[in-house]
């Protein structure tokens, strides 16, 4: 049964029917609108006998090459942010694991020398859990400048609290390693905030959108002469391909928004925290 379920989930038709958000409903709606616009324009052109006037095919060929290059850069920029976010969360998980291992060794040492003070790391564990919870909430919910300021202050205070708890532990060998990992946690936190709050330059985005708009708005006039109203499905296909890349880039440039195409941020952080807490029980 599980094998059948996995096979279904890998089927693109199943994805389209079960998770319409993955298939970009906005794109499908806009493609239909473009098709209606092209059809109406074609009917008007035919009725007014303007179908003998056409735009040279070389114009759209050259524009297509330029737009293709722009979309390559646009997609790479957006995907780099998505992949960078995933790598940083993975590195964050690694350092949480290292801290967890060191804390386990400290607790084992406490048992070995029969101090029975195995709760010496509780304050540190609490600070790290607070750090992870705040980071997850900000990535998935925080938006304005006030939230950003509160986030940075909270993270700074939490790391400060963790360093204070380290002073109480007193095991120099292990606390030095934990201290280095805490430094990395703050660095990764700031890197994730950078990805979230650094938008793609507006002039760059507008230029690509206007280029696509001009290309698609003039494309029917280059096809009506040869194809007549059959140009409509072809224009819809071209729009679906070109605009789809732009819409996907818009969706993944902020990889923490919990949309179908974004990183499963909350699930990743839940796994990190669950592993961290279970390792220290």
- Whether residues 108 and 193 share a domain: the answer is yes
CA-CA distances (angstroms) from residue 165 to 124, 160, 236?
6, 9, 62
- Whether residues 270 and 163 share a domain: the answer is yes
Asked whether residue 18 is domain-assigned, the answer is yes
pLDDT for 84 = 92
- Whether residues 9 and 48 share a domain: the answer is yes
- Whether residues 186 and 229 share a domain: the answer is no
Asked whether residue 258 is domain-assigned, the answer is no
Asked whether residue 221 is domain-assigned, the answer is yes
pLDDT for 2 = 47
Q: How far is CA 268 from the centre of its chain?
A: 13
Asked whether residue 185 is domain-assigned, the answer is yes
Asked whether residue 108 is domain-assigned, the answer is yes
pLDDT for 220 = 77
pLDDT for 8 = 46
Contact partners, residue 38, CB within 8 Å, separation at least 6 = 220, 231, 232, 235, 236
Asked whether residue 77 is domain-assigned, the answer is no
Q: What is the dihedral of CA 109, 114, 116, 120, to 10 degrees?
A: -40
The count of structural domains within the chain is: 2
As to burial, measured by CB atoms within 10 angstroms (0-12 exposed, 13-18 middle, 19+ buried), residue 232 is: buried
- Whether residues 166 and 275 share a domain: the answer is yes
pTM of this structure = 0.78
pLDDT for 95 = 92
Asked whether residue 128 is domain-assigned, the answer is yes
Contact partners, residue 204, CB within 8 Å, separation at least 6 = 74
Report the alpha-carbon angle 68-72-74, nearest 5: 115
Profile the chain (281 residues) by mean pLDDT over runs of 10 residues. Answer: 48 53 68 83 73 68 83 86 92 91 80 59 87 90 78 89 82 80 91 88 84 82 73 83 82 80 87 80 50
Measured between alpha carbons, how far is 67 from 208 in angstroms, rounded to an integer?
Answer: 8
- Whether residues 110 and 153 share a domain: the answer is yes
Show the domain range for 244.
2-53+204-252
**How is the chain classified by DSSP, letter by letter?**
-HHHHHHHHT-HHHHHHH-TTTT-HHHHHHHHHHHHHHHHHHHHHHHTT-TT----HHHHHHHHHHHHHHHHHHHHHHHHHHHHHHHHHHHHHHHHHHHHHHHHHHHHHHHHTT---GGGGHHHHHHHHHHHHHHHHHHHH--SHHHHHHHHHHHHHHHHHHHHHHHHH--HHHHHHHHHHHHHHHHHHHHHHHHHH-PPPHHHHHHHHHHHHHHHHHTGGGTHHHHGGGHHHHHHHHHHHHHHHHHHHHHHSSTTS--TTS--HHHHHHHHHHHHHHHT-
- Whether residues 144 and 103 share a domain: the answer is yes
**CB 178 within 8 Å of CB 105:** no
- Whether residues 126 and 246 share a domain: the answer is no
**How is 220-254 classified by DSSP, letter by letter?**
GGGTHHHHGGGHHHHHHHHHHHHHHHHHHHHHHSS
Asked whether residue 170 is domain-assigned, the answer is yes
- Whether residues 47 and 128 share a domain: the answer is no
- Whether residues 217 and 274 share a domain: the answer is no
Measured between alpha carbons, how far is 46 from 99 in angstroms, rounded to an integer?
Answer: 72
- Whether residues 138 and 228 share a domain: the answer is no
**CB 44 within 8 Å of CB 224:** no
């Amino acid at each position: 049964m599980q094998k059948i379920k996995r096979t279904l989930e890998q089927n693109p038709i199943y994805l389209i029917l079960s998770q319409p958000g993955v298939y970009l409903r906005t794109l499908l709606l806009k493609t239909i609108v473009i098709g209606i616009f092209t059809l109406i324009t074609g009917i008007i052109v035919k009725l007014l006998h303007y179908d003998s006037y056409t735009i040279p095919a070389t114009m759209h060929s050259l524009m297509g090459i330029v737009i293709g290059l722009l979309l390559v850069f646009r997609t790479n920029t957006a995907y780099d942010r998505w992949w960078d976010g995933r790598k940083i969360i993975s590195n964050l998980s690694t350092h949480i694991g290292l801290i967890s291992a060191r804390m386990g060794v400290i607790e084992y040492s406490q048992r070995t020398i029969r101090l029975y003070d195995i709760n010496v790391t509780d304050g540190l564990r609490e600070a790290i859990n607070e750090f992870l919870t705040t980071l997850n909430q900000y990535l998935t919910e925080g938006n304005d400048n006030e939230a950003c300021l509160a986030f940075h202050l909270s993270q700074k205070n939490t790391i400060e609290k963790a360093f204070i708890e380290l002073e109480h532990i007193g095991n120099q060998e292990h606390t030095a390693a934990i201290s280095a990992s805490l430094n990395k946690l703050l660095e990764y936190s700031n890197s994730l905030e950078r990805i979230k709050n650094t938008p793609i330059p507006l002039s760059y985005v507008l230029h690509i959108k206007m280029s696509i708009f001009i290309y698609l708005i003039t494309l029917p006039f280059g096809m009506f002469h040869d194809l007549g109203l059959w140009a409509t499905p072809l224009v819809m296909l071209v729009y679906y391909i070109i605009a789809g890349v732009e819409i996907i880039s818009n969706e993944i440039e902020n990889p923490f928004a919990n949309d179908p195409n974004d990183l499963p941020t909350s699930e990743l952080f839940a796994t990190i925290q669950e592993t961290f807490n279970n390792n220290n029980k």
